[in-house]
Amino acid sequence: MINSGTRCFIDIGNTRIKYALASRIQTPLVCQRDDLSALFSLFDDNRPAIFVTAGRSESAQQSLKQLRQAAEKRQLPCEIIRVRPDELAINYPDSTQFGVDRFLHLLAGKARQRASQQPFCVVSAGTAITLDFYTDRHLGGMILLGLGSARSALMEKTGLTALGKPAGLLGHDTATSIGAGLFIGYQNLIVSSIARVADSENAAFYTYWTGGDAEALFSADIAGEIVPALLFEGMLAYCP
């Protein structure tokens, strides 16, 4: 029997899987793609309705296939979360090109700003760095190469095995100079991009930072906060 009041939200990323019951979205659990036993135990113990997002990589899609088979075996409903323009209009001519993670981040931001109606920007710092701007509608976004990808490319070109984040603005060897360019350069790029859009729209954007590199790139120069579970908040808004 399905527990109709219990929902399990699952995010299948390119490297790992995060999941949480709806009542515990602020503390999602993590498992590796090659060991889903803890997740399947949660299915057996709670009998939830399942809502899932998955990356487009071959490995993520393979994990999605395993998960759907496990849900079917247990006769649990499993819904793939998709972008719903009727729920939140995306300023793309073709909304199918818009990532579901970005869509869920916007849903979460909109829910958080429901009372104040303040414009907001979501900065997601993961495999890629994305910025999405919302006033009373989605304005559009920006996509940058992720910090990890940039770090790997520079390490390969320079032959370095590690990079350091400088204590100040400037590095004093190759490793910390690259670190300064990455961390401080990326941070300034993000902040200045938000400022330019704010000037263009005559709006003050509150910022929500999320993703694995959010803490490293977060800037106190603009109003905002780090929200690690923003994606799961979006899932909760998607199916309240």
What pLDDT shows up at residue 4? 55
Architecture of domain 95-238: 2-Layer Sandwich (3.30)
Q: How far apart are the first and last CA of the chain?
A: 21
When pLDDT is averaged across residues 7-23 and rounded to a whole number, the result is 93
Specify the pLDDT at position 15: 79
Give the start-to-end residue ranges of the domains of the chain. Answer: 7-80, 95-238
Give the homologous superfamily in CATH for domain 7-80.
Answer: ATPase, nucleotide binding domain (3.30.420.40)
pLDDT-derived band at 171 (thresholds 50, 70, 90) equals confident
Residue 168's pLDDT band (cuts 50, 70, 90): confident
8 A C-beta contact, residue 29 and residue 19 = yes
Sheet of 17-21: strands edge to edge? 29-31, 17-21, 7-12, 49-54, 78-80
Same fold, 7-80 and 95-238: yes
Helix (H, G, I), strand (E, B) or coil at 100: helix
Q: How many other C-beta atoms are found inside a 10 Å radius of the C-beta of residue 193?
A: 16
pLDDT band at 2 (very low <50, low <70, confident <90, very high): very low
- Per residue in 81-109, pLDDT (tens digit) is 999 999 999 999 999 999 999 999 999 99
Residue 234 has pLDDT above 60, yes or no: yes
